Amino acid sequence: MSLLLTVLAFATIPASLPSVLDMGIPCPSTSARGISMGESGFVELTPTGALRNPALSGLLGPGLLVEVSGGTRLTMEKRLRKVYDEFGSSIGESEEAFNRHISTFPGGVSATGSGAVGIPNNVSITAGLYRPYSFCYDYDRMVMDESYVETARERLEVSGRASELALAACFAPSERLLVGLGAGYLFGNRTSRWVVSYVDPTADDVLQVTDTDVSGASARASALYRAGRVAISAGMDYSLSYELTGDEQASVSLPPVFHAGAVYEPGNALRTVFTGECYYSARSDAEREGADMYDRDAWGMSAGVENDLPGGPVGRFGFSYRSSPISRALDRMAFTLGLGFRLGDYSLDVGGSFSPGRWRQVEVPDMVSFDPGDSLVVEESSTTVLLSIGRRFEL
Partner 1 sequence: MASSLLLALAVFLWPADRLDLNSASPEEIGALEGVSGEQADSLHRYIYLMGGLENIYQLTEVEGIGPSELEALRRQCILVPPEPDRLPPEVLDVMEKLASEDSPGDAAVAEWENLLVRPLPVNEATSWDLRSLDRVSLVDAAAVERRLRSIGPVSSIRSLRSVENLSYYGYRNMRDFVSTRELDLSSLKLFGSYRMIVEGGAGRDSDEEGYDAALDNLGSALFEMSTGGADYSGSPVDSALLYEQLQASREELLSARGVTGFTHRVSGGLGDRMRGGVRLARGRLSTAGHDLFRDMDMGEVSNRFDQAKAFVSLHHLGPLRQVVLGNYRLALGQGLLVDNSGELMYRRLERPWGLHPDLTSTRQFALTGAAVEARQGPFLGYGFLSSSSRDAILSQNGVPNVPAAMQYRCGRYTDALIETTYGGYCFADLGGILPTGTAVGLGGMSIAYDDSLFPDADYLDVPNDGYYWDCPEYRSLEATDGMTLLGVSGQTVVGPMSLEGELSRQDDGASAFLIASRWQNDYFYLTAAARHYDLGYSNPYCRGFSEQKRYDDTVFEKPYYLTDPLVSQLQEWPTPKPEEGVYLESRFQVSDQVVFPKLYLDVWRSLPYDFDNHRFQGEVEYRADFPVRFRLKYKYQSKTKMHDVVPTTSRTHEYTLRSFFLPFAHDYFDVRLRLGMVELTPNPLYGDDRLLSGGYLSARWEHDFSDRLSVLGGTTLWTTDGMSQWEFEDTGIDFLDGDGTKFYLTFKNALSDNLQLRFRVLRKDTFYPRTGLYRPDPEDQFHYQGDPDSAVRDFGDHVTGYGIRCQLDFRW
Which stretches of the chain bind partner 1, using CB under 8 A?
A: 81-95, 146, 148, 229, 264-272, 274, 303, 305, 307, 309-310, 315, 317-319, 321, 328-329, 331, 333, 335, 354, 356-359, 363, 371, 373-375, 379, 381
Kindly tell me which of 82 and 100 has the beta carbon lying closer to partner 1: 82
Which amino acid is present at 93?
E
CB of 56 to partner 1, least distance (A): 17
We find the least distance from the C-beta atom of residue 130 to partner 1, in angstroms, to be 27
Which is nearer to partner 1, 249 or 375 (by Cβ)?
375
If the CB atoms of residues 172 and 244 are measured against partner 1, the closer one turns out to be 172
CA distance 286 to 137: 25
Q: Which amino acid is at 186?
A: L
Give Dmax over CA atoms of the chain in angstroms.
80
In the bound complex, what is the minimum distance in angstroms from residue 77's beta carbon to partner 1?
12
Contact 203, 155 (CB under 8 A): no
Residue closer to partner 1 (CB basis): 38 or 255: 38
Q: How far is the CB of 257 from partner 1 (least distance, A)?
A: 21
Q: Under 8 Å CB-to-CB from 116, ≥6 apart: which residues? A: 64, 395
User: DSSP characters for 315-382?
Assistant: EEEEEEEE--SS-GGG-EEEEEEEEEEEETTEEEEEEEEEEEEEEEGGGSTTPPPSSTT---EEEEEE
- Residue 391 CB, nearest approach to partner 1 (Å): 15
Is the Cβ of residue 213 or residue 374 nearer to partner 1 in the bound state?
374
Alpha-carbon distance of 282 to 239, in angstroms, equals 13
CB 95 to partner 1: min, Å: 7
| Cβ neighbours around 30 below 10 Å, total | 33
Nearer to partner 1, 258 or 354 (CB): 354
Distance CA 312, CA 325 (A): 41
- Taking the least distance from each CB to partner 1, the nearer of 96 and 243 is 96
Rounded to whole angstroms, how far apart are CA atoms 196 and 103?
23
CB proximity list for 95: less than 8 A, separation 6 or greater: 78, 79, 80
Which amino acid is located at 20 in the chain? V
Question: Which residue number, 26 or 128, has a Cβ lying nearer to partner 1?
Answer: 26
Measured CA distances, 208 to 7, 19, 205 (Å): 20, 15, 10
